[in-house]
Structure 1
């Protein structure tokens, strides 16, 4: 279990107040621990969380009534968010905040200033956000439970999911639920989405591998290192042609989207496009035609570009490139093929 505080701020001055004075709104300050007289922290949130996590009497004293609860439930073949006000919390609701309990369940506790505690695992199965408000003292006012295990099982029903498919579907569910989360909470959902996809990829899901690379490159989830992204895309491209197109781009720009860049690995990029084309991707054929026509990756080869456009048209894709090159008098003889014989990667 890891305890993380996302701040460098250190507040050293504490003031003390009793529960009676707190109720009257007459005090502010930091917590002091006393089994008979729990006290509060209004200046240092991280220190308050330590006491709140460890001491049941602090928990009982500093929870608003009602406390808002958000939970994800199944709704037919989808998941939906349900919110309600609770006059009291179940005894076990706050147990995951105790470091020893979190450690047993392989959970990470993160104190995110100014007022949140995030408890999560590393595979996208568990995510709870505890939100506190500050008046004369800190008080827990909202719990967001974004854990999807029960919802995904209910949605799947009797469907038998292949290894990694459950994690892929969970990641996709997180992606849809982001629209129902606040901007402050959405960042945590994106991280759990990525973790779900990565878990699915480890179990052999090509879809999950492709999705993990995509959400990382999008900037919404944490950025994986380039070696990991490359590994995910290579894995996915073996069975998903569209992943081959993304892989071709990544070989060229490594996720740095700058039109002025020179392709970093041109041969690997072309090989990825050719592999995708061999898997039946007309988009890859068109991209190959554009590459040979414009000379952006390899030297210009208009006859080969024409051959690629013609191949795409044979497969039912209208090609403006073919019309454009034909108007210039470009032809591709029978000896010129878009794809070179054999695999080039």
Structure 2
């Protein structure tokens, strides 16, 4: 009787093992597992399409970035996908030892993530493995943005390729700004790379966004000459670009600078240009610069003229400055702002 039970139990174990192994393709029995050591398993798994298909779960958790329908925002969406619908190989070969652009993360003894950055920060993929009868690929995260989810260019200053880059840059910056994904740094890097792509022909908004992101500390810092080039392109039509150029002339490639303005004459001219473009904020700032002598010119009559013009254009800060100056005993007559 005991022998009979042992045989039945043995059959049950064998059946359970076969069921477990059926989670991935083919006849992947234990003796076909490349290695129990994940560092040895990964090169064997990635070597060819057949092995990848055989050692992939029948249903894979697939994460892709999809538009939310709001201002070009994207968010990750995860669904279950039958591996029979996937195109193999999913992963390019990974060498034994360290492979440039590939990071292997141990979640715990039974779970590893492989972060593949070889195609650049705009095309990162993360492969999720778990240990069953062998290591099995159970999830694929695709952190790229598909061209089919972008809209055709409506900006005459951008080519179609630059427009797609701009849309990707905005989306990646939005995802990075949430600071809730493990790829936050890479998302900001992808955003900067795509802004630079979008600014290739000198688009002012893409140029401003690229330079500003570079100075934010969230992405790699560009060379000083490149930042100046971008701000100059932004200053051609954007008041914010001219104001940013003014700040750049003072602080250089260091937003935390608290020293004197490095190039006051150029900073003053850039701020005047921003005011000429009709920015009330810039006009108020120019008035403050005239009042304090922050740059080159110190002239209370011009400061008053700028405050009056800025207030007329809706600057509340200028109203407070006007009230303050009007309380001074010595009368000041407004001359001209710029």
Superposed CA deviations along residues 49-101 of structure 1, whole A, max 9, x for unmatched, are 554433334423544554321112345465443211234264535446259xx
Map of 1:81 onto structure 2 = 76
Contact 1:168-1:200 within 8 A present in 2 as well: yes
Contact 2:290-2:300 within 8 A present in 1 as well: yes
Q: Which TM-score applies when normalising by structure 1?
A: 0.71
**Is 2:96 aligned against 1:97?**
no
How many residue pairs get aligned? The number is 291
SS of residue matched to 1:143: strand
**Is 2:127 aligned against 1:131?**
yes
Superposed CA deviations along residues 186-220 of structure 1, whole A, max 9, x for unmatched, are 22222221122111100332111111112222222
**Is 2:143 aligned against 1:150?**
no
Runs of at least 5 residues in structure 1 that lack an aligned partner in the other structure: 1-19, 25-35, 100-107, 340-345
SS of residue matched to 1:144: strand
RCO greater where, 1 or 2, for CA within 8 Å and sep 6 or more?
1
Structure-1 separation of matches of 2:84 and 2:212: 39
Map of 1:39 onto structure 2 = 34
Greater Cα radius of gyration, structure 1 or 2 = 2
When residues 268 and 135 of structure 1 are mapped into structure 2, their CA distance, relative to the original with a 3 A threshold, is farther
Q: Cα distance, 1:240 vs. partner?
A: 0.7
Map of 2:325 onto structure 1 = 325
Map of 2:219 onto structure 1 = 221
When residues 181 and 276 of structure 1 are mapped into structure 2, their CA distance, relative to the original with a 3 A threshold, is closer
Map of 1:172 onto structure 2 = 170
Q: How does 1:1-345 map to 2 (within 5 A)?
A: 37=32, 39-40=34-35, 42=37, 44=39, 49-64=42-57, 66-76=59-69, 78=72, 79-88=74-83, 90-92=85-87, 94-95=89-90, 97-98=92-93, 110-114=101-105, 115-119=113-117, 126-133=122-129, 139-153=136-150, 156=151, 160-162=154-156, 163=158, 164-178=162-176, 182-258=180-256, 260-298=258-296, 300-318=298-316, 319=318, 320-329=320-329, 331-333=331-333, 336-339=335-338
Structure-1 separation of matches of 2:207 and 2:88: 34
Contact 1:117-1:129 within 8 A present in 2 as well: yes
RMSD: 3.4
Structure-2 separation of matches of 1:151 and 1:52: 31
Q: Cα distance, 1:254 vs. partner?
A: 2.2
Runs of at least 5 residues in structure 2 that lack an aligned partner in the other structure: 1-16, 22-30, 106-112
SS of residue matched to 1:256: coil
Superposed CA deviations along residues 206-244 of structure 1, whole A, max 9, x for unmatched, are 111111112222222222122111111110111111111
When residues 229 and 312 of structure 1 are mapped into structure 2, their CA distance, relative to the original with a 3 A threshold, is same
Structure-2 separation of matches of 1:274 and 1:239: 13
SS of residue matched to 2:214: helix
Structure-1 separation of matches of 2:291 and 2:83: 68
Contact 2:249-2:263 within 8 A present in 1 as well: yes
When residues 268 and 187 of structure 1 are mapped into structure 2, their CA distance, relative to the original with a 3 A threshold, is same
